[in-house]
Amino acid sequence: MEAEKACSAKSDFVSRISHDIRTPIGAITNITGFAFEDMHDPEKLKDDLRRIQVSNEFLLSLVNDVLDISKIDSGKIELHSEPYLYADFVSSIRNMFEPLCESRGISFIIDQKPVVPYIYIDHVRLNQIMMNLISNAVKYTPKGGTVVVSAAGERRPDGRCDCVLTVSDNGIGMSRDFQKTMFEPFTQEESNPGRDKSVQGTGLGLSLVKKLTDLMGGTISVTSELGHGTKISVFLVAAEADIGSTVTGKTDVSGAKAAQEKMSGTVLLAEDNAINTEIARRILEKLGLSVVHAENGARAVELFTASAPGAYRAILMDIQMPVMNGYDATKAIRELNRPDAKSIPVIAMTADAFTAAIEHSRAVGMTDYVTKPLDVNRLRDALARS
C-alpha cells in the first residue's frame, strides 16, 4: 500500500509538473513565432518580447520552487543564520513590490510596528517566505485593493525574540475547503469566482512557505474568507544580534555604486555550448571585462598554462563539457606548478543547483558558483568577491 501510494504521488507530481511546464513553454514557442511576424512593428514586437520574458520568469520560478521543495524533502537544505537588519528587510520588500503594486493600481503598505532591529536568521529563506506570501497577495488582489505587510518583535528573557511577520490583503480570499489543502504542492483554487484566469501560478509557493517555516521551527496562521481577503502570519523565534557593528543603509549605497562601475581585467570562459558562450560573453563585456574562450575543460587548462601569471582575473568554468569536464579541469589547474595556480578564482557555472554539486565544486578547488540562466548581478557579485 505504501509503494502504491508513493507511485501514485509520483505519477500525480509528473502529471502536474508536465502541465505547468508546458504552459509557459507553449507561450514562449508561440509568441516567439509572433515576434518574427511582428518585426516590422516595433510596438507589437516589444509587447511580444515582454510576454516571452514573463513566461520565461514564470518557468524559471517553477523550476526553482520544485528544486527547493525537493531539497527540503531530501534534507539537503541547511539554514545559515547571520545578522539581518530590519531596515534592510523593509528596503528589499519596498524596492521589489512598491513599483509592481503601483503599476497594478494596488495600495502597498508596510506597517512598521515595534521590532527587534537586528536578529540572527537565514535571511535568504526568510525573504523567500515573505516574497512568496506578498507575491500571492499582489497576484490575487484586484485593482484598487490594498496589501499590507507588517512585522512585530518582542524580546524574551533568554536573549531570543518572538517575531511575527504578517501579509494581509482585501483580495479574492480563499474558501474554507481550499484552506484545508492550501499548503499541498500544486494546489490552486481554480474554482474561486474572483480568480483572474489569466493569472499564472505554480501552486508551489504556499507549499514552499510551509516547508521553509517548518524547517525554521516556526508556525503559520491563516485567516481568509472567499471574496473578503486573506491574512497570513508567520511566527518565528530568532536570537537578537548586536546592532553596533552595522551601519544602516551602507550596503544599499555601496551596492548601487558598485553596480554602476565598470570592472576590469580578462576572464577565461570555459563553455562548450555556443549560445551559452554568446550570452556569457555579452554579459562579461557589458561589465567591462575582456573574454578569452575555451570550448572545453582541456582547452581551458591549455590556455591557462600558456598564459602569463596574473593574466586572468578569474576563470568561469562550466561543469558539463566534452573532452574534460569542469571539475577535472579545475583540479588540473590547481595542480599546475605556477604561482597563481592555487589562487586564481574559479567560478563554477552550472544548471545543477543541488547542494551535492555545489559541495563537489568546492572540493575540487572552485571558489564560487553561479547558476544558469546567468543573472548579471549575481555574476558581478561573484566576480567582485574574487
Cα dihedral 245, 82, 239, 206, rounded to 10, equals 140
Strand pairing class (146-155; 314-318): unpaired
CA distance 17 to 196: 21
| Residue 97 confidence (pLDDT) | 85
> Which residue pairs from 244-250 have beta carbons closer than 8 angstroms and sit at least 24 positions apart in sequence?
245/83, 246/83, 246/85, 246/118, 248/85, 248/87, 249/87
DSSP bridge pairs for 236: 163
The pLDDT of residue 19 is 58
Cα dihedral 136, 139, 145, 150 sign: positive
Domain membership of residue 257 (yes or no) is: no
Give the single-character DSSP code of 244.
G
Taking residue 32's Cβ as centre, other Cβ atoms within 10 Å add up to 13
Low-confidence ranges of the chain (pLDDT < 50): 245-259
The pTM score is 0.60
Question: Can you give the pLDDT at residue 254?
Answer: 40
pLDDT at 256: 40
Query: Residue 374 carries which DSSP code?
Result: P
352 in any annotated domain: yes
Cell numbers standing for residue 126: 526568510
What is d(CA 321, CA 319) in angstroms, rounded to the nearest whole number? 6
For the four alpha carbons of 256, 261, 265 and 266, in that order, the dihedral sign comes to positive
Looking at the structure, do residues 208 and 274 belong to the same domain, yes or no? no
Rg (CA), the chain: 24
> Could you tell me the residue range of the domain that residue 27 belongs to?
2-73
Question: Which has the closest alpha carbon to 239: 121, 363, 80, 117?
Answer: 121
229 touches 148 (CB < 8 A) = no
In a domain, 251, yes or no: no
Same domain, 8 and 45: yes
Same domain, 208 and 59: no
Write the single-letter amino acid at 41. Answer: D
Instruction: Please identify, among 215, 245, 275, the residue that sits at the C-terminal boundary of a domain.
Output: 245
Q: Which of 22, 45, 73 is the last residue of a domain?
A: 73
Number of domains in the chain: 3
Q: CATH number of the domain that 233 lies in?
A: 3.30.565.10
Q: Are residues 266 and 230 in the same domain?
A: no
Report the alpha-carbon distance of residue 134 to residue 197 in Å, rounded.
19
Contact 130, 88 (CB under 8 A): no
β-strands 230-240, 118-121: how paired? antiparallel
Do residues 31 and 66 both lie within one domain? yes
Based on the fold, state whether residues 19 and 91 are members of the same structural domain. Answer: no
Q: What pLDDT, on a 0 to 100 scale, did the predictor assign at position 352?
A: 66
Strands (DSSP E) found in 205-300: 219-224, 230-240, 266-270, 290-294
CA 27 – CA 24 distance, rounded (Å): 5
d(CA 342, CA 88): 36
141, 211: one domain: yes
Residues 103 and 241 in one domain: yes
Nearest to 186 by CA among 19, 353, 4, 5: 19
- Based on the fold, state whether residues 335 and 231 are members of the same structural domain: no
- Element at 112 (helix H, strand E): strand 107-112
Residue 6's pLDDT is what? 64
The reply to whether 197 falls in a domain is yes
Is residue 376 within 8 Å of 283, Cβ to Cβ? yes
CATH number at residue 43: 1.10.287.130
Q: What is the pLDDT of residue 356?
A: 65
Q: Give the dihedral sign, CA 192/193/198/199.
A: negative
